[in-house]
Chain A
Amino acid sequence: MFSTEQSCWFVRKVICWRAAASIAWAVLLLPPITAVFIILSRFSFLHPIHTISECLSLLTSASAIFSFILLCGVILMVGFLNLEYYTVIPTIACSKIALLGQLLHPRQFVSSVVHCIMGIIVAWCCAITIGGRYETLGYPCIQSDGSPQMCLNEYQLILLLAGAFVGFSHSLLGVIHNMNYVSFHTVQQYKYLRFKGSLPLVVKCSAIQALYSIRNYIVVYFFLGYIPRAWICKTLNLHLTSSAHPLDSIAGLLDLSLFYHLWISATFLLFTWYITLLLFRIFVTEVYSFPVQSSFTEDAHQCLPKVLLTDKQPMILKFLALQDLALLSQHSPSRRCEVFSLSQPGGHPHNWNAISGECLSLLADLTQRLVAYHDTVATNGRAKSLSTGSERKTSSETSVTSGTEDLMSPRPTLLMKTPASVFARSIVGGPQSPLTAPFTPDLDSPFASPALRRLTAPVEQCSPWHGTVQSPHIMRRAPKLWSTSTDSQVNGSFPPSPASVPSPKQEASKPSLLAQFLQNRKEQVKNFLAKRVLIMYLFNKLPEASSQALFADSQAHIWALEGLSYLVQASFSEDHFGVVQTALPSILSCMLVLQEAVDRHFKLPHASSKPVRSTSSIGDSTYKTLRFALRATLKTAIYRITTTFGDHLNAVQMSAEHRKRLQQFLEYKE
């Protein structure tokens, strides 16, 4: 639970109010939903008018008002849980065991328990409103020996337990389907229209989900129903009547009216919760317009460049800022003008520098991540080809520990091929270095982002060809010891001389005897475990999950790409001071490097396979297709720049490799 004192201004001033507004709307929508529920649950075709008058009298009764207050409390709680658990970057479990870990997380456990309790409360309210045989938990009855006592009304019990079960399964499914993930829409619509548009989906989803949950519940109750029944009887000192047959029998459960009431109650429960969730999503993802620059210093931290730059803030703030950037670059010339403007004393393009720098560092970050991922895959192959021991063992070991490669798919052909091709490329790259050197991002210039520096620094230190390489192809060729610990090497004290290259290789090639023994032990254990079916099932990689996890936050990159490319496009006619021109080489090279990395990633197995689309779930599955969206946006962004500038791009300084790549775009051959 967050404390408002520590959270940033944005959460305090915007997110909380948005959440409050969504909860308020959900509470306001509760009376009509309840009225519909009452009518549907009590309707009889034989006496329609009687039903309606009964419903009206029920709506004004004291018990209805009390249960309505309870329901409001539940909605408030659900809204609060939404606010507490929402995320803009989904957590993607890469294997079954990780998913299990998520389900058993204490935080998740708390949520499940709360959902269970809320389910019971809602079910009790439903029991009150449906009335009839569901009204009370106990009723006076006469035992076989003639003494009056309280008996258990199993109908209410089954309804209450159904509520608990549906609440529990809702929270479990929430984890499996990432229901707490809040996605941003590409199509901007007003809140009311968005709500209206998704209402039919919510009705459909809640009805279908309720049907599945009730089916499962009935099966569970049939087998295990006697346990809670006996427990309730014991605690509340109720008795079971011998006359009424118990409900956990086939005859007891084959009651259509009971099934209908269970289903409609579960639908009501899920519908109110889904509506709250939907409203929360709609309100939270609403566009927030940040000022580009402020004339007051106390508001400076709320401006777009500042908001983009700070890292310590909640992700939602960064996402909304990037969304605003993408929209302003597309739609609003006056705000674009502010971005291109120069600072009044000094004449520095601070706004543009901050925005472009942050976008570029985001993109470079993704490039690095992709290269690192590809490296891991390549490492597996290389270790396999170079290892002297049992190759099969090594491959299974590395894939389990690193969790990046499919256990059952060794690909020696692909991996054996890479060193040769890289070698060929590096020979070509060698003599060209004087020609291409001017392009290399100037690390001291204010236009090079920190991430770009990070990206290029290790390469320059490691490679014998000083500063000629920016492509991930060649980065990958650097010795593994360095590329795995890039960050430490940035500040490292290696002199940038080729002479220092061989020494770490030799160190790495002779590990100590003890380490080798431990390594062998570990491999044996893994090998043993890998043969067990359950372990295999739990540890086996879910296909394409690692790819999804890699691109989980790619919505930010998509906006960064859109924002940058639209700004560059607009700069063709709107940038009077030429502030964008200075950054154009770095923007283009950043995009092209990313393009190369993305292309290579999509050549991996499972990366380009489309996920199965599920329409009958309220959980947002946008994150599953983010990598495709990123690929398309990236290509469009490069084309947007090339079509705008056309042949003028030939004047931009660029490495030969990138120029070749860009020529492909200029000729529309990508």
Chain B
Amino acid sequence: MCSLALFPPPLPSGQTTLCESNNELLSGTSTEDRPKQVRFTAAVITTLCVFCRTAFLDHSETLWMRSAAAWRDGGLTGLLTEITNSHTEVPKWLSVSSGCTLALLRWISSFHGSLFPHLTLSSEDMIAEFSQVLNWSDCVVRAFSWHPHTDKFAVALLDDSIKIYNPKSATTPTLKHRLQRSVAAVQWKPLCASALAVACQNCLLVWHVDPCSLSTRPSSGCAQVLSHPGHSPVTSIAWSPSGSLLVSASPVDTAVMVWDVAAESCVPLQRLGGGGVTFLSWSPDGSHVLASTPSTLFRVWETRMWTCERWPCVKGRCQSGCWSPDGSRLLFTVQGETVIYALTFTDAPGSRLYSVFIHASGDELIMLDLSASVGGEIQSLSWDPRGERLAVLLKGDPQAVDRPAIIAVFKTRTNPIFELLPCGFVQGEPGAEPRLMQFHPNFQHGALLTVCWSTGRITHVPFYFLSTGVPHFGLSGSPLLPRLQERPSAFANQSLFTELIS
């Protein structure tokens, strides 16, 4: 078990991480410092950088109008939430009593035994608590998603609008909908050019944005509204890799909803315990779904017959998780701990059944300590689609000045044995804090990490390397050395973790 101390030291203030090339992370003070060959290949990518400080939502509607809308959208709980939230405009007794009633209603509705403390949170706080975004509530970019097949992405902003950027088209469609509030997650449907699922406060929206359309404001008729009573706020969504199903989770609902989007029907997968579902992640091969709960428990669903395995954690709830590209390995982090756990699902030949490990025996859990001078608790994990780079967003320590939030990147290898090597830290401009990150799903020259910063800037950090698994057909214009991936001897004794073949 090793620590972040083995990493190269973080950059001095003012330096920005630009890219990885020739096996090291390059940095500079501005984009002008970028090496020429890097700028050449990254040209397409850097044009996508955007500033997203747009106008905030102004409260021009009257309380009465908002209450009526809340009643229409969210029923009694929606109305009560609206009254509670607008405590400046209503008499104190009304807001207090509606808040109490709301809390009572939530407690009653969650009749599953024990009282879970997260149910007393308002829905905004709940999204902020369970979101994969660091400090969701004041974050300009609230959600981000690359299209799984083409170079376009969707960005959800603080004013509840979603913008779609496509380098090949001049128009940037802006999606707005009456029900699109407090967007917690967005995701493009695989094997489809147009469908974008949005997790909102009261419902799920599935937008159908015609890629050939020149309209900048698709009408709300292009959006399908999927809602189920008691299933709000939605904090996490995941499409199946085959594009046929969509799962959604809400911290107040113990059921995971499996949606057949075209038919607008859903199947609730109800399991007692946990008090809700906060985070979902579908394995890239489509065979498993990770579902974490607000309590010290997470489940791994098998998607053939939709049965699940319970995995109790010791200390806190499962905060984040990601799957290896072949779906055989799950990395996850636990709130309150600074380690990454790995869970291996072995394949029986011919079928996707896995041998069940003895729970909590500790042997199969591989631990990786990140409690070094930088870092802190882990907010989210992201693994690039080839399984060669693992990005870890560390929360840092809000009290300590010298421990800001930072992204640590590891080199990983899954075959023949699971290995983690240090790669470096990704840092932004001074004062900018990483909030959200995602790898590009099909970057040709390695991996491309997209980071959304607290300043509202979205940057793309390319990692140029030759993949070990994929055969190479001459990469024209690539500046890389042919034997780049060969591990330098300097790193050989620095290996953070190497799995032993057992």
Name A residues whose Cβ lies closer than 8 Å to a Cβ of B: 185-190, 193, 196-197, 330-334, 562, 610, 613, 622, 625-626, 628-629, 631-633, 635-636, 639-640, 643, 667-670
**Is B261 an interface residue, CB under 8 A from the partner?**
yes
Which single residue of chain A is at the shortest CB-CB distance from B264?
A: A625
Q: Is the CB of A188 within 8 A of B306?
A: yes
**B31 interface residue (CB < 8 Å to A):** no
A338 to B261, CA, bound (A): 32
Residues of chain B contacted by A668 (CB below 8 angstroms): 147, 149-150, 193, 211
14 intermolecular pairs with C-beta atoms under 8 Å apart:
A189-B306, A193-B306, A197-B267, A197-B269, A332-B350, A562-B244, A613-B264, A622-B265, A625-B262, A636-B191, A636-B243, A639-B192, A639-B193, A640-B191
Whether A628 pairs with B267 at a CB distance below 8 angstroms is no
Q: Which 4 interchain pairs have the tightest Cβ spacing?
A: A632-B262, A625-B263, A639-B191, A668-B193
**Is B65 located at the chain interface by the 8 A CB criterion?**
no
**Given that A333-B350, A636-B192 are contacting pairs, would A187 and B245 also be in contact in the complex, using a CB cutoff of 8 Å?**
yes
> In the assembly, what is the distance between CA of A633 and CA of B243, in Å?
9
- Contact between A631 and B350, CB atoms less than 8 A apart: no
| Contact, CB under 8 Å: B264 / A610 | yes
- B228 closest partner in A (C-beta): A615
Checking B211, B265, B305 against A189 with a beta-carbon cut-off of 8 angstroms, the contacting residue is B305
Q: Is B325 an interface residue (CB 8 A)?
A: no
**Chain B residues whose CB sits within 8 angstroms of the CB of A633 once the complex forms:** 244, 262
- Per the bound structure, the CA–CA distance linking A333 and B269 in Å amounts to 27
Contact partner of B242 among A185, A330, A626, A670, CB < 8 A? A330
Q: Which residue of A lies closest to B306 (CB)?
A: A189
Shortest distance from the beta carbon of A663 to any chain B beta carbon, whole Å = 13
In the complex, the answer to whether A669 meets B242 with C-beta atoms within 8 Å is no
Q: Specify the chain A residue showing the minimal Cβ separation from B247.
A: A187
Instruction: Closest B residue to A186 by CB, please name it.
Output: B260
Q: Is the CB of B193 within 8 A of A670?
A: yes
A562 closest partner in B (C-beta): B244
Cα of A196 to Cα of B265 in the assembled complex, Å: 18
| A334-B350 CB under 8 A given contacts A197-B267, A668-B193, A670-B193 | yes
**B interface residues, tally (CB under 8 Å):** 31
Contact in complex: B211, A669 (CB < 8 Å)? yes
At the interface, yes or no: B312 with Cβ under 8 Å from chain A? no
In the assembled complex, the Cα of A629 lies from the Cα of B305 at a distance in Å of 21
Contact of A635 among B192, B245, B260 (CB under 8 A): B192
Contact flag A190-B307 (CB < 8 Å), given A625-B263, A631-B262, A670-B193:
yes
Name the residue on A nearest B149 (C-beta).
Answer: A668
Flag whether B212 is at the interface (Cβ < 8 A): yes
* Besides A628-B264, A669-B211, 9 other A-B contacts (C-beta < 8 A): A186-B263, A332-B351, A610-B264, A622-B265, A633-B262, A636-B242, A636-B243, A636-B244, A643-B191
Residues in B neighbouring A640, C-beta threshold 8 A? 191, 242-243
Contact A186 B244 (CB under 8 A): yes
Per-residue CB contact flags for chain B residues 455-498 toward chain A (1 = under 8 Å, else 0) read 00000000000000000000000000000000000000000000
CB distance from B387 to the nearest CB of A (A): 19
A residues less than 8 Å from B352 (CB atoms): 331
Asked if B304 and A331 sit within 8 Å, CB to CB, the answer is yes
- B293-328 vs A, CB cutoff 8 Å, 1 = contact: the mask equals 000000000001111000000000000000000000
B54 to chain A: closest CB distance in Å?
Answer: 27
- Whether the Cβ atoms of B191 and A625 lie closer than 8 Å is no
Q: Chain B residue with minimal CB distance to A638? A: B191
Q: In the complex, how many angstroms separate the beta carbon of B241 from the nearest chain A beta carbon?
A: 11
Proximity string of chain B (235-260) to chain A, C-beta cutoff 8 Å, 1 when within and 0 when not:
00000001111000000000000101
User: Is B193 within 8 A of A187, CB to CB?
Assistant: no
For residue A629, which residues in chain B have a CB less than 8 angstroms away from its CB? 260, 262-263
Q: Quick check: B191 and A626 within 8 Å, CB to CB? A: no
Q: Which of A187, A333, A613, A632 contacts B267 (CB 8 A)?
A: A187
Check: B270 CB closer than 8 A to any chain A CB: yes
In the complex, chain B residues whose CB is within 8 Å of the CB of A196: 270
Whole-angstrom distance between the Cβ of A509 and the nearest chain B Cβ: 42
Residues on the A chain within 8 Å of B244, using CB: 186, 562, 633, 636
Looking at the assembled complex, report how far the CB atom of A190 sits from the nearest CB atom of chain B, in whole angstroms. Answer: 6
Closest to A627 in B: B262
From B245, B265, B304, give the contact of A625 (CB < 8 A): B265
Contact: B191 with A628, CB < 8 Å? no
Cα-based distance from A330 to B242 in the complex (angstroms): 10
List, in ascending order, chain B residues with CB within 8 A of A635's CB: 192
Tell me whether B267 and A190 are in contact (CB under 8 A): no
A307 to B258, CA, bound (A): 31
Residue-wise, chain B 405-429 has the 8 Å CB interface mask toward A (1 for contact) of 0000000000000000000000000
Question: Does B268 sit at the interface, judged by CB under 8 A?
Answer: yes
- CA gap between A629 and B263 in the complex, in Å: 6
The chain B residue sitting closest to A327, CB to CB, is: B304
